[in-house]
Amino acid sequence: MWARKPGFRTLIQIILEQQVSLVSARAMFRRLTGDIVPFTPKRFVDTGVAGLRSLGVTRQKAVYCVDVAEAVQDGRIDLQAVAKMDDAGAATALTRLKGVGPWTADIYLLMALRRPDVWPSGDIALVQAVTSVKRLRDGSATDQIAKVADSWRPLRSVAARMMWQHYLAERSGRRPSVRRPDSRRTAGERP
């Protein structure tokens, strides 16, 4: 289920995953966890933007990571308190942080807080998977995809995980079959 432990470490990992491949983000995260020990907000603040840049983090993401570390360290955000908030409150608290937009907040809610009804709108893999499964026109608008996702309430997180699996299967060449109801069945016949 791709669960992650709530907290600073996971929020940094999700920031690194913004707009890059998961392989690239994973490699960068491994580098940081190997070089920044202990992996704490204080250590990130001490490392600073220049130190993160020397480890290969982009300037923009280095700024975001240090800002999040400072916010946790000085109490502008309490990630344990965020975990106790409702979805809207948690997302609002997270998006007040520099570099944490709706996608990052949604991924944190879905992966770390394991909320059942989160749909990371605009996630490229989800857009591609829903387009494939629902046989929509390529390039379908994000709002059209969101309308499809609305039909999966109150378990959009489950649907998102299924769509990610579909996306990964298609990318690996294991063409998943989209099962359609068989109209030739007779009444009372078991599927």
Q: Is the pLDDT of residue 181 over 70?
A: no
Report pLDDT digits (tens) over 123-159.
999 999 999 999 998 766 777 898 999 999 999 999 9
pLDDT at 178: 54
Task: Out of 3.40.50.720, 3.30.1660.40, 1.10.340.30, 3.30.9.10, select the CATH number for domain 8-112.
Answer: 1.10.340.30
Write down the H helix ranges in 55-155.
59-74, 79-84, 87-95, 102-107, 124-133, 142-150
CB 185 within 8 A of CB 191: yes
Angle separating helix axes 124-133 and 142-150, nearest 10 degrees: 70
pLDDT, tens digit, 9 for 90 and up, residues 74-132 = 999 999 999 999 999 999 999 999 999 999 999 999 999 999 999 998 899 999 999 99
Domain spans of the chain, in order of start: 8-112, 124-171
Quick check: pTM over 0.85?
yes
Rounded Cα distance between 186 and 191, Å, is: 10
Q: Cα separation of 180 and 51, whole Å?
A: 53
Residue whose tokens read 């940081």: 32
Query: How buried is residue 190: exposed, middle or buried, by Cβ count under 10 Å (0-12/13-18/19+)?
Result: exposed
Asked whether 6 and 83 are in contact (CB, 8 A), the reply is yes
Query: In angstroms, how far is the first alpha carbon of the chain from the final one?
Result: 28
Q: What is the CA radius of gyration of the chain?
A: 19
Question: Is residue 71 helix, strand or coil?
Answer: helix
**Type of residue at 166:** H
Rounded distance, CA 53 to CA 29, Å?
13
What's the pLDDT score for residue 186? 37
Render pLDDT for 110-120 as a digit per residue (tens, 0 to 9): 999 999 999 99
Task: With CA atoms as reference, report the closest residue to 104 among 14, 189, 1, 27.
Answer: 14
Average pLDDT over residues 15-39: 95
Reading the block at residue 124, the tokens are: 């490229």
